[in-house]
């Protein structure tokens, strides 16, 4: 089933949807574009949060507002976890994995790459048995050297590619390389609203084939686990 792995739909949690009406409109757009399963990934910045549990409470409250009215019924809760110094030491960080799976979506900072970034993700992976999904890898081309990009691609992380990567020359090149060289990759709209950052699965389906979509859609099952919050 066509799966949305990265979006900011839950109302009022981050810089994505700010109200229920926008959230439902975003989900309706996804449904019209063929999406059948959605992973909600609101931003998690640990330096802005009281705790992981308080974030989870806010996330659940936002989910409760829309879950009965959502036109897409197959929904999973996750987070887009910012890679920060000390993130691997945050209490209960493992609870931010996509529910029912060992996958955690993590976002590198938009700055020059430093080794500690990989070390934080590695520590989370080893300590908690988490499989890292690296958000929109193609966006880091301006912050990483070619060798650093090579290292990220050759890591054990699942590569998440935004649908609009195929609309930008530099990012398109890296997105195609990820598809050609990586065994585990997924797609996501990274949608924030219904205007300038709307769901765009219609764009992706013109750029990739059924086999690539099948790989992406199967990642949830491939990394499913018995872990429950």
Instruction: Report mean pLDDT in 10-residue bins for the chain, 229 residues.
Output: 98 97 98 98 96 98 98 98 98 97 97 95 97 95 91 92 92 93 96 97 95 97 72
pLDDT of residue 228: 44
The 10s digit of each residue's pLDDT in 47-62 is 999 999 999 999 999 9
What's the start-to-end Cα distance of the chain, in Å? 25
CATH fold, domain 3-220, is: TIM Barrel (3.20.20)
pLDDT of residue 227: 44
Asked if residue 2 lies in contact with residue 10, where contact means CB atoms within 8 angstroms, the answer is no
Asked if residue 27 lies in contact with residue 71, where contact means CB atoms within 8 angstroms, the answer is yes
Q: What are the extents of the domains in the chain?
A: 3-220
Query: What pTM was computed for the model?
Result: 0.96
The 10s digit of each residue's pLDDT in 199-208 is 999 999 999 9
CA 29 – CA 180 distance, rounded (Å): 29
Q: Which of 204, 205, 144, 151 is nearest to 181 (CA)?
A: 151
pLDDT of residue 168: 86
């Amino acid at each position: 089933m066509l799966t949305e792995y990265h979006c900011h739909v839950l109302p009022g949690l981050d810089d994505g949807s700010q109200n229920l009406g926008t959230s439902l409109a975003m989900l309706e757009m996804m449904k019209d574009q063929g999406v059948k399963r959605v992973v909600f990934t609101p931003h998690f910045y640990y330096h802005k949060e009281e705790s992981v549990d308080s974030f989870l409470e806010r996330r659940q409250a936002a989910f409760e507002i829309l879950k009965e009215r959502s036109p897409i019924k197959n929904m999973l809760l996750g987070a887009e976890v910012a890679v920060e110094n000390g993130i691997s030491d945050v209490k209960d960080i493992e609870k931010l994995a996509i529910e029912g799976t060992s996958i955690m979506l993590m976002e590198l900072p938009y700055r020059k790459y430093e080794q500690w970034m990989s070390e934080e993700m590695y520590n989370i992976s080893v300590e908690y048995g988490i499989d890292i999904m690296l958000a929109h890898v193609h966006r880091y081309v301006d912050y990483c050297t070619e060798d650093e990009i090579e290292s990220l691609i050759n890591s054990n992380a699942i590569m998440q590619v935004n649908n609009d990567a195929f609309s930008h020359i530099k990012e398109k090149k890296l997105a195609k390389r990820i598809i050609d060289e990586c065994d585990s990759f997924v797609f996501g709209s990274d949608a924030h609203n219904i205007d300038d950052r709307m769901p765009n699965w219609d764009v992706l389906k013109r750029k990739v084939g059924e086999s690539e979509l099948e790989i992406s859609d199967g990642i949830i099952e491939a990394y499913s686990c018995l872990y429950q919050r």
